[in-house]
A and B are shown apart, each in its own frame.
Chain A
Amino acid sequence: MIVRISGEGQYRLDDGDKDRLNELENAVVAIVEGGQEDGFAQAFAKLLDHVREQGEELGEDDLSGSDVIIPPADISFAEAGKDFTGEGLIPD
C-alpha cells in the first residue's frame, strides 16, 4: 500500500497497516466533526507519524501512484474541515 503525504512524499506501508491507519484517521475525523480544534494537531500528527515511521519512503524517481493521499502536514483546522469529510481513507 502506497500512502502519499501531500507536499511531502510517498511511503510504502504493509497492507496489514490498513486497520491502524483507519483507526488513526477515524480519530482525526471525529475531532474535526466534533469541532474540537484543540485536539486536532495532535491527532493529525499521530496519523502522519505513523505513516512516516512505519512506511518506507519511495525514491523521488519512483513513478508509482498512491493508494491513499493524506492532506499536507501544515493544514489548519479550518482547512481540515473541508478535506476530512466524505469518503474514507481507504474507500470501502
Chain B
Amino acid sequence: MAGLTGRMSTVVKAKVSKLLDRAEDPGETLDYSYQKQVEQLQNVKKGIADVVTAKKRLQMQESSLQQSVVKLDTQARQALAAGQEDLARTALERKNVAQTELQSLDGQVHELEDQQQKLIDSEQKLRAKIEAFRTKKEVIKAQYSAAEAQVRISEAATGVGEQMADVGLAMQRAVDKTENMRARADAVQELEAAGTFDDVTQLGSGEDDIDRQLKQLSSQPAVDDELSKMKAELGAGSTAPEAPQISSGESQPSESGQA
C-alpha cells in the first residue's frame, strides 16, 4: 500500500533505535538515555531562542520601513505642493516598494510567531515525558531483573525517543523557515543600503540606476492612483484661500498603511 506516514514512522523509529543501541547494560542505557534527553531539551531551548532572534530582526526592519513609508509619503506631498510632480512620483514609487516589503515581512513575522509557539508546546511535551522517564527509570532499577528491565527500558525510552524525534522535526522545519526568511530580509537590507528609502529631496537631477530599478519594482498603476489622489487632496486644500501657515492637509491621516 502506498503510504502517507510510512516514511515518517520509519525515520522516527530508526532514530529511536539508534538511541537505544548505544548501551547494552540496562543501567547504562537508562542513564545514557536520560542524559541525551536533557541535552535535547537544551537544544530545543536554543532553537526557540534562534526563532525569537530571527523574528526580532524582521521586526526591526519592519519598523524602519514603516518610518520610511511615512517619510516618503510626506515628501511626496511636499513635492507635489511645490509643483515637482516628478519628485513626488519618485517618492511614491519608493513608498510603494517599501509597502510591498512591509507586507511580506509582516506575514513572515506571523509565521515565525507560529513556529515559536509550536516549539514552546513541543518543549513542554518533551519536558513532561523526560520527567516521567526519570521517575520510571528509578522504578525500573529498583524492581526488575536485568532481562526484564531491558524490555521496560526499551518501552519507556521509545516513548521519549519518539517525542525527541518529533521535536527535532519541528526544529528542523523552523530552521528551514527562518533561513528562507533571512534571504528575504537580506534583500530588504540591500535595498535600504542602496539608499532606496532615503530622503528623495537629496536626489540629484536625472534618473539613476536605483530609479530605473524602482520603476520596475513598484506597481505603476498603484503609484498613478496614489499620485492622482494626492493631487485631488492638495487641489481641494489649495482652494481654501489664505489658509495660514502649517498646511491643513498635513493633519489628515495618510493612507500609508495600505498598499
A88 to chain B: which residues have CB within 8 Å? 1-4, 6
| Cβ 8 A contact of A63, one of B2, B12, B159 | B159
Contact across chains for A85 and B128 when beta carbons are under 8 A apart: no
Contact across chains for A26 and B2 when beta carbons are under 8 A apart: yes
Alpha-carbon gap, A85 to B122, bound state (A)? 26
Residue A72 at the B interface, CB < 8 A?
A: yes
Contact across chains for B3 and A7 when beta carbons are under 8 A apart: no
Residue B129 at the A interface, CB < 8 A?
A: yes
Q: How far is the CB of B52 from chain A (nearest CB, A)?
A: 19
B7 to chain A: which residues have CB within 8 Å? 82-83, 85-87
Interface of B is mostly: helix
A6 to chain B: which residues have CB within 8 Å? 8, 166, 169-170
Alpha-carbon gap, A74 to B129, bound state (A)? 24
Interface of A is mostly: loop
A89 to chain B: which residues have CB within 8 Å? 1, 3-6
Alpha-carbon gap, A22 to B2, bound state (A)? 10
A82 to chain B: which residues have CB within 8 Å? 7
Residue A13 at the B interface, CB < 8 A?
A: no
Contact across chains for A72 and B170 when beta carbons are under 8 A apart: yes
Alpha-carbon gap, A4 to B8, bound state (A)? 11
B3 to chain A: which residues have CB within 8 Å? 25, 29, 84-89, 91
Q: How far is the CB of A40 from chain B (nearest CB, A)?
A: 12
User: Which residues in window 94-149 of B have CB below 8 A to A?
Assistant: 114, 118, 122, 124-125, 128-129, 131-133, 136
Cβ contacts A to B, 25 pairs, < 8 Å: A6-B8, A6-B169, A9-B125, A26-B1, A29-B4, A61-B128, A62-B129, A63-B129, A63-B132, A63-B160, A65-B16, A65-B158, A68-B9, A69-B162, A70-B4, A70-B8, A72-B170, A72-B173, A83-B4, A84-B4, A86-B2, A86-B3, A86-B6, A88-B6, A89-B4
Given contacts A62-B159, A69-B12, 17 further A-B contacts (CB under 8 A): A6-B170, A22-B1, A28-B4, A63-B159, A64-B155, A65-B158, A66-B9, A68-B9, A71-B8, A83-B4, A86-B2, A88-B1, A88-B6, A89-B6, A91-B3, A91-B6, A91-B9
Which of B's residues lie within 8 Å of A, judged by CB? 1-10, 12, 16, 114, 118, 122, 124-125, 128-129, 131-133, 136, 155-156, 158-162, 166, 169-170, 173
Which of A's residues lie within 8 Å of B, judged by CB? 4, 6-7, 9, 22, 25-26, 28-29, 33, 47, 60-66, 68-72, 74, 82-89, 91-92
